Amino acid sequence: MIEMRSLGQVGAHLTVIAGHTFHAGEVATPWRSTLSLRALLDPLPGELRLVTVLRFLRRRTVGQIATQLGVSQPAAAILIFTALEDIGAQMGFGPALDDPSQATEVAAFIDHLVTRRRPPRFEATAAAFQALLAATCVHAAIAGNDLPRARFMRSLEERAYPGRIAAL
């Protein structure tokens, strides 16, 4: 079982290049219940819901989604990014910031997340960070996707606070 205190400590130190700091309460609020996939997707308009389902449930690549919708790959990445921003806003991460400048990086992160590989690291803008949080929530809401183990969370805490975790 992951303690909310652990998530709060990690969340308290997630910062964004734009100078925004996301505090523990904004990242992992203990009173926010886990939303079902349906609850996350229902408020989205049809096209945004479609790209989210194709990417996360059907595991289609951005290129395959672009072909199916008849748009370019960057446009498909922006659609996925917009859908995730809307989901993030719905979850209370703040209003959608409408800055798709890192849509390609977020799409690469999602590709690795969906295929269960280690996602690439990059310095995220506030809008990208919101989309990344939403992506992890959508991924976690899908049946069969496991939550992180306590050992993994402890390793994150150890990186954030070297030598201090034992004292907590």
Instruction: Transcribe 107-136 into DSSP letters.
Output: HHHHHHHHTTSPPPP----HHHHHHHHHHH
What's this model's pTM, rounded to 2 decimal places?
Answer: 0.68
As for how many domains the chain has, the answer is 1
**pLDDT value at residue 148:** 63
Our CA angle for 101, 159, 134, nearest 5°, is 35
CA dist., res. 19 & res. 22, Å (int): 10
**pLDDT value at residue 34:** 66
Question: In this structure, are residues 147 and 121 in contact, taking their beta carbons and an 8 Å threshold?
Answer: no
The residue range of the domain holding 45 is 4-167
**pLDDT value at residue 93:** 85
Mean pLDDT by 10 residues, the chain (168 residues): 41 42 45 72 94 95 96 97 94 85 95 90 92 92 74 77 63
Q: Of 108, 103, 131, 130, which is closest to residue 119 (Cα–Cα)?
A: 108
% helix, strand, coil for the chain, step of 5: 60, 0, 40
Q: How many separate helices (H) and strands (E) can be counted in the chain? A: 9, 2
CA dist., res. 27 & res. 130, Å (int): 10
**pLDDT value at residue 135:** 94
The number of beta carbons lying within 10 Å of the beta carbon of residue 27 is 17
Q: Is 21 helix (H, G, I), strand (E, B) or coil?
A: strand
**pLDDT value at residue 104:** 95
**pLDDT value at residue 97:** 83
* Residue partners of 50: CB distance under 8 A and separation at least 6: 69
